[in-house]
Amino acid sequence: MDSDKLSRWEWASLVLAGLALWLVLELHILSVLLSGLLVYELVDLTVPSFRRLGVNTAVAKTISIAVMTSAVAGALLVISLWLGSFIAAGGQPIQELMSQMAVALEHIRPSLPQGVADFLPADINALKALGVEWLRGNGRQVASIGQDVGRLTVHIIVGIAIGALVAFSHEMGEQVLGGTDGRRAPLADAGRRRCRNLATAFRQVVFSQVRISAVNTVLTGIFLAVVMPLFGVPLPLTKTLIVVTFVVGLLPVIGNLISNTAIVLVALSVSPYAAAGALAFLIGIHKLEYFLNAAIIGSRIHARAWELLVAMIVMEAAFGVAGLIAAPVFYAFAKQELKNAGAI
């Protein structure tokens, strides 16, 4: 699509799409959008499988929507309840992890150059102070998670319902946008293309990143739970580290840095040799993940790792935690739209 030939309806739909995504972040309803997109894409992926099994088309659509909606709702509800209990318990596993990291920092401080040592937190209190400072900068988002888990759950349920309804309408051949009389208005058609491109960007980024994070977590889990104990150096908080690896691994690029830093520092609290072994392993994993990123995400959205990192930094600065989570999907969507318009 040539940018010089974009109709006013295409431009209008692009502006409206940008405004809608901004409102999603500004009104704190990202969970509605993401859960809706997740259900929609899962239904879109599974309906053809039911059809190949010889199931009637209408029945296949109904079964797929029912199964996917129930599965996603159950999984997200469990996550929400776990998050609520985690916060109610004061985030004890993370507190223990921070304590282990502080011990490691105290061990290595004397051997570091003065400039580097001055940059690191002096002790556990200084590390906690850094955490408090971060919480102040992201207080609204963190508070909303801690105090409004119920609202988050409701948002997720609403998003699931919307995603299921849109998927059902789409599968039945109905227009998601536009009139019910079969007439297609130009703005509605352009809006449908924006919605389709956003769903495609979501599928490319999220499903790919889940696969990458799963591979990384399995390999890291084997290293932490099997290899390290075999060498007589089991690490504390192994389960917490494995969970952290998967969760933060859902964030491209930056998630890997967070989990790697935590693992090395915890290993350093055990011994320098354990830290060296962990570092060597993580370097190898990082190289593997680099190729996975290039092959899976980079090839699909045609974005380099540094592009995603810059997008996440900018979005986090503008919208906090929600911006950080949304950045990969929104960036992939924006880049695809620019490419379709012939701008890049």
| DSSP codes, 173-240 | T--SSS-SSS---HHHHHHHHHHHHHHHHHIIIIIHHHHHHHHHHHHHHHIIIIIHHHTT-PPTTHHH
Tokens of 204: 């490319």
For residue 268, the model assigns a pLDDT of 79
Domain that holds residue 29: 3-340
For residue 73, the model assigns a pLDDT of 72
* CB neighbours of residue 95 within 10 Å: 13
Per the structure, the count of domains in the chain is 1
Number of H helices, E strands in the chain: 17, 0
For residue 21, the model assigns a pLDDT of 95
Residue owning tokens 């993580």: 282
Answer yes or no: are the C-beta atoms of 331 and 300 closer than 8 Å: no
For the chain, give the number of residues.
Answer: 344
Instruction: Using 70 as the pLDDT threshold, list the residues of the chain that sit under it.
Output: 1-6, 57, 76-77, 79-149, 170-184, 252-253, 289-299
Return d(Cα 267, Cα 293) in angstroms, integer.
26
Give 226-270 pLDDT, tens digit per residue. Answer: 988 998 888 888 888 888 888 888 776 677 778 888 888 888 777
Answer yes or no: are the C-beta atoms of 169 and 176 closer than 8 Å: yes
Tokens of 75: 């999984």
Tokens of 67: 């199964």
From the CA atom positions of the chain, what is the Rg in Å? 23
Return d(Cα 25, Cα 317) in angstroms, integer.
12
For residue 222, the model assigns a pLDDT of 92
The closest of 305, 318, 201 to 253, measured between CA atoms, is 305
First-to-last C-alpha distance (Å) of the chain: 11
For residue 333, the model assigns a pLDDT of 93
**Residue 62, CA atoms < 13 Å, CB-side half-sphere:** 5
The closest of 274, 283, 225, 281 to 108, measured between CA atoms, is 274
Q: What is the dihedral of CA 172, 176, 178, 184, to 10 degrees?
A: -60
For residue 99, the model assigns a pLDDT of 63
For residue 144, the model assigns a pLDDT of 52
For residue 118, the model assigns a pLDDT of 56
